[in-house]
A and B are shown apart, each in its own frame.
Chain A
Amino acid sequence: MRRSETRAAWLFISPWVVGFLVFTAYPVLYTAYLSLTDYDVINDPHFVGLENFRTLMDDPKVALALRNTAVFVVMSVPTHLLIALFLALLLNRAGRASGFFRTAFFLPKMTPPVAVGILLLLLFNGQSGLINRVLGSVGIDGPAWTTDPTWVKPGLVMMTLWTVGGSVVILLAALRSVPQELYDAARVDGAGWWRQTWHVTVPMISGALFFVFIVNTIHAFQSFTEAYTAYFGSGNTTYSNDAALFYAIYLFQQAFQFLHMGYASALAWLLFVVIMLVTLVQFRVSKRFVFYEGEQR
């Protein structure tokens, strides 16, 4: 390790070092400090101790936002994973045509989330939306997806499932790397399609499944754009829908609409802790299910 080498290395990584200090390390510490203050950007932060955290415990909107977010995570993450796996299994058998279908499945992922939110309002509209027209044609009286509090979150889950294509691509790549010999061996042992899938495929791609699961969980906890677009107005018009008040939306409102920077910082820390705990539990549990092949880690 020559000294000039070390100097060159530090020069190369210097952008990240500066960025980390200014835009990560300092903000993390400063949010911690702000969470103990009352701060509205105009006046100096005023130290209030744990007051924000006490307020947060009693704030019905925090409880509502936490509940909404938890319900959304629990509904969307497993469905997302199962559907992505199902579609990847289909694609894996499609042979030469799989490229075409993969493109079709992936395309929605390119849509700006704002447009996804708008599509949600249009397609799931209770009276004239396409979804209810289709349901009506088979004799089902569809609910008011965008206004009935019971159906707002299922509607959001269904609409965001439209962008499942990214996960499909990841799982398909994993499926293609499963050695064919394993299937041959399983078939010799008399395993049918279902048992092959359950005992060969799923364990062999458990690493990718877990990756998709973790990433989607973290994203779902911070879900913002689609719900905000569809159900929360800004500027001179305001409308809002309590059933869609996700945690990230409430945090955003507190910070940038009400300028409660101290309180919002406390909210941010709570979110951080919740996500860390959930991720930790997922990693713990996964150790029993996820199988990593040889060198691949």
Chain B
Amino acid sequence: MTAVGAPQERAELAPLVTEPERPAPARRSPRRRGRMASWLLYAALAAVTVAFVYPFVWLVSASFKPRSEVFDNKLIPDTFTLDNYVQVWHEAPMALWLLNTVIVTVLATAAVTVSSAMVAWGFSYFRFRGRGPLFGLVLATMMLPGAVTMIPTYLIWNSLGQVGTLTPLWAQNLFGSAFYIFLLRQFFLGLPRELFEAARMDGANQWQVFTRIALPLTRPALVVTALFEFQAAWTDLMRPLIYLRDSSTFTIPRGLKAMLDQFGFGGEWHWEIVVTASVIATVPMIVLFFLGQRHFVEGIATTGSKG
């Protein structure tokens, strides 16, 4: 059984241990029971998959239904219509909201990736007095609930006259983010140091070592950082609620909330508009996931093992 299903790195151990009298794989020994078990396993997996995917299907399906049928819970719309997708652009400045979201998301992502990589490099390559405690401080800030800094941060942006603009939604990312600094530092620490020393010998300065050698080697971790932040910035509601006033400055999540307040519980009872806007807000994230699926999954898996 040793070799069956064992990861590759254990394959070379297997012959030594199991060659003489290899016991039959216990998991499958009574054949019928094994088949039964795997049938049950896939049935369970399929059922869970349906539960996870169905809300999306429901939402997309409802967005193609006329107002009167939105709540009929039918998989295939009785009356198929594209009206909602036409109507939603008239009911709200969706295009503007999408544009605002793209601006915020791109700036937030670029800013946090570059700044976090710089800081992570500073904490991983150089040895300087106070590095340990200082990095401990970086980690400690991860534990701090956002609520504790929320109010003074608002007051800072207020005194700079930035409340009501998009700036507070991304500009803080210029100063790096503890979680990404941690993630990228782990990655930098895994790179062979000799590489950088050699480049130094060849006359490269510190900045060149960072941008020409370290960064290109860190691409997977940079992609993970960018994907995570892209998602976080695109989906954030709290900050837009705090900082944005005029509906022309809204991001998609803030706009979606405003539409819910107007067309949902606000009283106009046009849920088909809310449903359609939800689909429009969600689809870019689904696309993003399929573009960077491997990085998402690996990135999340590492956060767990390094934590």
Q: How many Å lie between the Cα of A117 and that of B138 in the bound state? A: 32
A250-273 contact mask (Cβ, 8 Å, vs B): 1 or 0? 011001100001001101110110
CB of B111, distance to nearest CB on chain A (Å): 9
Q: How many Å lie between the Cα of A261 and that of B153 in the bound state? A: 12
Residue in A5, A12, A162, A180 whose Cβ sees the most chain B Cβ within 10 Å: A12
CB of A29, distance to nearest CB on chain B (Å): 8
B252 lies within 8 A of chain A by Cβ = yes
- Could you tell me which residues of chain B, from 3 to 22, have a CB within 8 Å of some CB in chain A? 5-7, 10
Number of cross-chain contacts by CB at 8 Å:
295
Q: How large is the interface on B (under 10, 10 to 19, 20 to 34, 35 or more residues)?
A: 35 or more
CB of B196, distance to nearest CB on chain A (Å): 12
B166 lies within 8 A of chain A by Cβ = no
Residue in A113, A114, A215 whose Cβ sees the most chain B Cβ within 10 Å: A114
Residue ID in chain A nearest B2 by CB atoms: A184
**A1 close to B127 (CB less than 8 A):** yes
Complex interface: chain A residues within 8 A of B234 (CB) = 112
A150 lies within 8 A of chain B by Cβ = no
Residue in A30, A177, A267 whose Cβ sees the most chain B Cβ within 10 Å: A30
Binds B, one of A48-56, A59-67, A74-82, A217-225: A217-225
**A16 close to B119 (CB less than 8 A):** yes
Q: How many Å lie between the Cα of A1 and that of B127 in the bound state? A: 7
A57 lies within 8 A of chain B by Cβ = no
B92 lies within 8 A of chain A by Cβ = no
CB of A35, distance to nearest CB on chain B (Å): 9
A122 lies within 8 A of chain B by Cβ = yes
Residue in B121, B181, B238, B293 whose Cβ sees the most chain A Cβ within 10 Å: B238
**Residue tally, chain A, CB below 8 Å to B:** 106
CB of A200, distance to nearest CB on chain B (Å): 14
**Given A5-B127, A115-B282, A174-B305; A128-B176 close (CB under 8 Å):** no
Residue ID in chain B nearest A238 by CB atoms: B261
CB of A135, distance to nearest CB on chain B (Å): 12
**A122 close to B126 (CB less than 8 A):** no
Residue of B6, B152, B288 near A27 (CB, 8 A) is: B152
Complex interface: chain A residues within 8 A of B206 (CB) = 8, 12
**B147 close to A12 (CB less than 8 A):** no
**B151 close to A264 (CB less than 8 A):** yes
Complex interface: chain A residues within 8 A of B5 (CB) = 95, 180
Residue of B44, B115, B237 near A229 (CB, 8 A) is: B237
**A237 close to B237 (CB less than 8 A):** no
A47 lies within 8 A of chain B by Cβ = no
Complex interface: chain A residues within 8 A of B258 (CB) = 234-235
Chain A residues within CB distance 8 Å of chain B:
1, 5-6, 8-13, 15-16, 18-20, 22-24, 26-28, 30-31, 34, 41, 87, 90-91, 93-95, 97, 101-108, 110-115, 117-119, 121-123, 125, 128-130, 133, 162, 165-166, 169-174, 176-177, 179-181, 184, 187, 207-208, 211-212, 215, 218, 221-222, 224-225, 228-229, 233-235, 237, 239, 248, 251-252, 255-256, 261, 264-265, 267-269, 271-272, 275-276, 279, 296
Chain B residues within CB distance 8 Å of chain A:
1-2, 5-7, 10, 26, 41-42, 44-45, 48-49, 52-56, 58-59, 62, 71, 73, 115, 118-119, 121-123, 125-129, 131, 134, 137-138, 141, 143-156, 158, 172, 174-176, 181, 206, 210, 231, 234-235, 237-238, 241-242, 252-253, 256-258, 260-262, 264-267, 271, 274-275, 278, 281-282, 285-286, 288-289, 293, 296-297, 300-305, 307
Report, nearest first, the 5 A-B pairs whose CB atoms are least far apart. A19-B175, A12-B122, A170-B304, A9-B126, A173-B301
